[in-house]
Structure 1
Amino acid sequence: MKKLVVLTGAGISAESGIKTFRDANGLWEGHDVMAVASYEGWLKNKTLVLDFYNQRRRQLQEVKPNLGHITLAELEQDFDVHIITQNVDNLHEQAGSNKVLHLHGELLKVRSDHPQFEVLDWTSDLNLDDVDSKGKQLRPHIVWFGEAVPALEEAISIVETADYLAVIGTSLQVYPAAGLMHYAKRNIPVFYIDPKPVTIYDLQNPLEVIPMNATDGVPFLKQKLLVLR
């Protein structure tokens, strides 16, 4: 079975109603990004950060996977599908995808605020008095700006062994995730699905740009892949 690796970004979740990370003013729902997505912001105002992610967690429970998510899950019938996502929601898992790697953390998990942290499943609000087994404050299990991306090496290994690579709903501007596609074998086809695709530089692979949103573009991709396999 051929291996299909899919890199997904905010665009695919936006079609389910998840608001994107930044709007045109560089804000995240009225907040300066660094105030709610950096460790410095966390130290400065834990209450603000907790409230922000509590709102995101509640919103996630109100939305559903779209046809893009569902079609990627369906492709597991014909391909060994691995999804590497920059998104912190669980919409891929809700749709039925079984191999999902979250580069930037997960909204429905929390972790201790110290180096040897525990990661816990969490679906309700997170509060200042919520602590781990050692009495350490719990924080969102999100990779904030300036923090290391623990899953990066695993993601690179997955991309290196791909037979097909698809990039869906991402501007390809956020590193290190944006650099992952350059680890693909040079002879494999790459598909880029985005309604407003950016130019991809220095890519040594056969590239097909599909200027569609995920709900239209992923079913289109599925038909192409079924012919190619």
Structure 2
Amino acid sequence: MFTMKGEWANDAPPQLMILSGAGLSAESGIRTFRDAGGLWEGHDIDTVCNFDNWRDNLELVHGFYQARREAAAKADPNPAHDAVARWQTRWPTHILTQNVDDLLERAGCTDVCHLHGRLQDMRCYDCDYEWEHGLGPWTVDQDACPDCGSTRGVKPGVVFFGEMAPEYRTLQRAMDSLRPRDVLLVVGTSGQVLPVARMGLEAPGPTILNNLEPSDVIPDRCFDHTLYRPAGEAVAEVEALLARYLD
């Protein structure tokens, strides 16, 4: 569980805050969220990821996320995941991700805050029980909530459209805690869900953006450094920038 401990005290050494999105895991074969040819192509978002009607499409919802779990189970951390784990051991680092896979943890990262939930979790909305199911299969009308026995009240532990995202409070606290000597690194996110451009402008210290390509949603002027290439290819340059500010 991600925690905000005393590392953000005014007299603490420089900190690194990392916010990652789907682009971080793309090189591991996890298809991205909003890109052309990405995850949602061929699927109606309102059918498989809508909090208001997920019970009406229960078989399709669970089938869709079962396919996501299978893909995650087959994937391996890529050099960018490994780099984040290495940076966390080198500098005081706070990791927040929009990704629902566990590749950061498998690379060795700890205390990762999953802003949009995790594929391996389940939640029963008939009794409000949450548990870690893992990446194995879930069969509607056969598998059941371990607390109340419900078979049709169980939803994947991923934040759907229209659903509250409790960890957004953690993200806001982290942003509010940044000091002029702390570094904000944003990797692989479109900026269409979170206000990444505003985050870059409001961060009081150095800011780095590493995305695959430029976007009108995140103008270059919002970040001190912009690197447009796959996350794995940008590792060396990002690490050099981090060392400049944090060592």
Same fold (TM over 0.5): yes
In the alignment, structure 1 residue 165 sits paired with structure 2 residue 191: no
1:174 matched residue in structure 2: 193
Aligned residue among 138, 152, 155 for 2:171: 155
Q: Sort the Cα spacing of 1:93 and 1:67 in 2 relative to 1 into closer, same or farther, 3 A.
A: same
In the alignment, structure 1 residue 79 sits paired with structure 2 residue 91: yes
In structure 1, the gaps of 5 or more residues are none
Q: Spell out, residue by residue over 1:124-163, the C-alpha distance to the aligned partner (whole angstroms, 9 max, x if none).
A: 1112232231223322001000111110111111222231
In the alignment, structure 1 residue 225 sits paired with structure 2 residue 225: no
1:132 matched residue in structure 2: 146
TM-score relative to the length of structure 2: 0.83
Q: How does 1:1-229 map to 2 (within 5 A)?
A: 1-24=13-36, 28-114=40-126, 116-128=128-140, 129=142, 130-136=144-150, 137-162=153-178, 163-175=182-194, 178=196, 181=199, 184-186=202-204, 188-199=205-216, 200=218, 207-229=224-246
Q: Spell out, residue by residue over 1:162-188, the C-alpha distance to the aligned partner (whole angstroms, 9 max, x if none).
A: 31001101111113x6477269542x0
Count, aligned residues: 226
**Secondary structure of the structure 2 residue equivalent to 1:39:** coil
Q: Sort the Cα spacing of 1:180 and 1:6 in 2 relative to 1 into closer, same or farther, 3 A.
A: farther
| 1:72 alignment partner AA | V
2:8 matched residue in structure 1: none
Once the 2 structures are TM-superposed, how far is the Cα of residue 95 of structure 1 from its aligned partner? 0.7
Structure 1 residues 25-34 or 1-10, which shifts more?
25-34
Q: Spell out, residue by residue over 1:69-127, the C-alpha distance to the aligned partner (whole angstroms, 9 max, x if none).
A: 10011012321111111110011111111121111110011111247332334221112
Once the 2 structures are TM-superposed, how far is the Cα of residue 219 of structure 1 from its aligned partner? 2.7
In 1, are the aligned partners of 2:31 and 2:38 still within 8 Å (CA)? no
Which whole-Å CA distance do the structure 2 matches of 1:206 and 1:21 have between them? Answer: 23
Q: Sort the Cα spacing of 1:11 and 1:114 in 2 relative to 1 into closer, same or farther, 3 A.
A: same
In 1, are the aligned partners of 2:183 and 2:245 still within 8 Å (CA)? no
In structure 2, the gaps of 5 or more residues are 1-12
In 2, are the aligned partners of 1:160 and 1:183 still within 8 Å (CA)? no
Percent of paired sites with the same residue? 35
